[in-house]
Structure 1
Amino acid sequence: MSCVSSSVFTIRNNCPYDIAPGTLTSSGASITTGFELAPQASSTVDVPTPWSGRVWARFQCSNDGGRFSSQSGDCGSGQVECNGAGAAPLATLAEFTLANASGTDFYDVSLVDGLNLPISIVPQGGCPVTDCPVDINAQCPSELAVQDGSGGTIGYRSACVVFNRPEYCCTGDYSTPETCPPTDYSRFLKDLCPRAYSYAYGDALIRGRITVIVIA
């Protein structure tokens, strides 16, 4: 006889507009891969453990001609469900490695591949919150900004994505923590969101038990 333990994510949309959360499973049983949330709405997702993966938000979405797409955070599936596809590198990521009931969970907010919306991970049991609660779109460097058709900023690309240089991507001769220090761009992110990863070697994972992912 066997049994399966699970965690429950409550994903809440604190934005004043609709979003479409997406998920990607790296290991463990698959979970729902995408759905829509109205402003101030929330939804729960059962996550069988052990599990690892990520959650992000898509916004400025449309369903023109029966094909679902988003200007920010799109996964390219053409549907609300991402079906195993990850976010284009322009999304704030909530990343998780969940253990069985007797183990410890690890979680972080990552800006390494870019960001689009503020995200907070709020755990239970007094474990630390990790987040990027600031709307960086209003103040990001112009060379990294992505704009929609009306000229509004809808995301911030990472310096690695934009410039594709080893010192920004922590590759090649810069592939260790000792040889890949923070750059001006990662420091900018870290100053605004000190509890989030700002580049590949930015921070250690946080331990705890997850309850709520807030997209605001």
Structure 2
Amino acid sequence: MAQIRLFISLLTLTIPNLFLSGVVASATFTIRNKCDYTVWPGILSNAGIAPLSTTGFALRHGESKNINLPSSWGGRFWGRTHCSEDSAGKFSCITGDCGSGKLECAGGNAAPPATLAEFTLDGYGGLDFYDVSLVDGYNLPMLVVPQGGTGVNCTTTGCVVDLNGACPSELKVTSNGGESVACKSACEAFGQAQYCCSGAYGTPDTCKPSSYSELFKSACPHAYSYAYDDKTSTFTCANADYLITFCPSPNTSQKSLEEQNPVASNSPVINGTMVYEGVLDSSGAPPRVHVFRSQAIAGGVVAIMASIWRCRQLF
């Protein structure tokens, strides 16, 4: 009877942790602007996840803002640029506009082209999955640095190069004054299936890098350059906070990236766990997010099995 009571006690300790993990814990995200101009960050939670207390704000040069995110949150961050308010009070931006007409994006997505930082916290195995994506184009240099996390693939990622100046003319977005302010993806620019990884090109075997995505990849080797760029562009951490910096210092940031040796191919990519939904289809539907579906139950089952194994040793 003593062994049975111990077994029940172990399950009592394990099962609540299984279902409560991802509820109590949280991560702190620090958003920092090192650009020489104001950036208006936008935030969008994934479908089915509650929006954060803020979904858009202004960061002047040198400013930063801390945001506490609940565990199991998933969504994207991006920077809006060249923003203004018209005489009627409507807020809009030349790049990254979320269509809300206000400072807060309030559920609005980033209009491409925009550099995206995408996260799923407390996903498969209790890990955070994150990436910086240029699949929907590029508008700003961005760096994601995990703070205090652990894991073989817990490393800095991002794009620290200014791609706007080197953007091919057919992809270039310019302001009214003729300044190059963003660089479209080939999918957005041409709408063809081979660039959008849609239709007959909707699988990893049929959708391959294009000369345009390779341009992005060459400049920013740790960022997503096209839909199936998972092996070198997806990163994982446990128990980390995150620093997201717009316009990081190229010298120190690039050095930090090159000193790392990420092994993105070691990330657990399981059917139903990591699904890319980031490109436009031929209908012109708005881009969606890399979705890393939480598999916390799987980690809990492992814990239960470990408890059962320990009890069997007592009989």
TM-score, length of structure 1 as denominator length:
0.95
Match of 2:148 among 125, 129, 132: 125
Higher strand proportion: 1
Residue 74 of structure 2 corresponds to which residue in structure 1?
A: 52
Are 2:90 and 1:67 equivalent residues in the alignment?
A: yes
For each residue in 1:42-91, what CA deviation from the matched residue of structure 2 results, as whole angstroms up to 9, or x when unmatched? 00111111111000000111112211111111111010100000000110
What is the aligned partner in structure 2 of residue 8 from structure 1?
28
> Of 128, 134, 139, which aligns to 2:161?
134
For 1:163, the aligned partner's letter is F
Question: Cα offset for 1:184?
Answer: 0.2
For 1:98 and 1:28, locate their aligned partners in 2 and report how far apart those are by CA, in whole Å.
Answer: 12
- Matched residues in 2 for 1:169 and 1:17: separation? 32
Partner of 2:62: 40
1:198 aligns with 2:225: yes
Contact 1:196 1:203 in 2 (8 A): no
Deviation at 1:125, TM superposition (A): 3.1
Q: Does 1:19 align with 2:35?
A: no
Q: Match for residue 174 of structure 2?
A: 147
Counterpart check, 1:172 vs 2:199: yes
TM-score, with structure 2 as normaliser: 0.66
Deviation at residue 203 of structure 1 after TM alignment = 2.3
Paired amino acid for 1:111: L
Name the SS of the counterpart of 1:187 in structure 2: helix
The answer (yes or no) to whether the contact 1:28–1:48 under 8 Å persists in 2 is no
User: What amino acid does structure 2 have at the position aligned with 1:79?
Assistant: K
Distance between the aligned counterparts of 2:55 and 2:41, measured in 1?
8
Matches of 1:28 and 1:148, distance apart in 2: 34
Q: SS where residue 224 of structure 2 aligns?
A: coil
User: What secondary structure sits across from 2:139 in the alignment?
Assistant: coil
Asked whether 1:213 is paired with 2:244, we answer: yes
**Using the alignment, how far apart are the partners of 2:241 and 2:26 within structure 1?**
11
Q: Is the 8 A contact 2:85 2:92 kept in 1?
A: yes
- The SS at the match of 2:170 is helix
More helix by share: 2
Query: How many angstroms apart in 1 are the aligned matches of 2:29 and 2:147?
Result: 11
Give the distance between the partners of 1:215 and 1:74, measured in 2 at CA.
16
Aligned equivalents of 1:134, 1:146: Cα separation in 2: 17
Are 1:77 and 1:85, in contact at CA under 8 Å, matched by a contact in 2?
Answer: yes
> Counterparts of 2:26 and 2:85 in 1: how far apart (Å)?
33
Maintained 8 Å contact 1:122/1:129: yes
**Contact 1:28-1:49 at 8 Å conserved across structures:** no
- 1:105–1:207 contact (8 Å) kept in structure 2: yes
Is the CA contact 2:146–2:241 (under 8 Å) kept in the aligned structure 1?
yes
Q: Please, which of 77, 81, 96 is the counterpart of residue 104 of structure 2? A: 81
Could you tell me which residue of structure 2 aligns to residue 28 of structure 1? Answer: 49
* Runs of 5+ unmatched residues, structure 1: none
Structure 2 stretches lacking a partner, 5+ long: 1-15, 248-315
Larger-Rg structure:
2
**3-state SS in 2 of match to 1:194:** coil
Q: 1:68, 1:5 → 2: CA distance?
A: 35
> Secondary structure at 1:138's aligned position in 2?
coil
Identical residues among aligned pairs (%): 51
1:162 corresponding residue in structure 2: 189
* Count of residue pairs the alignment pairs up: 215
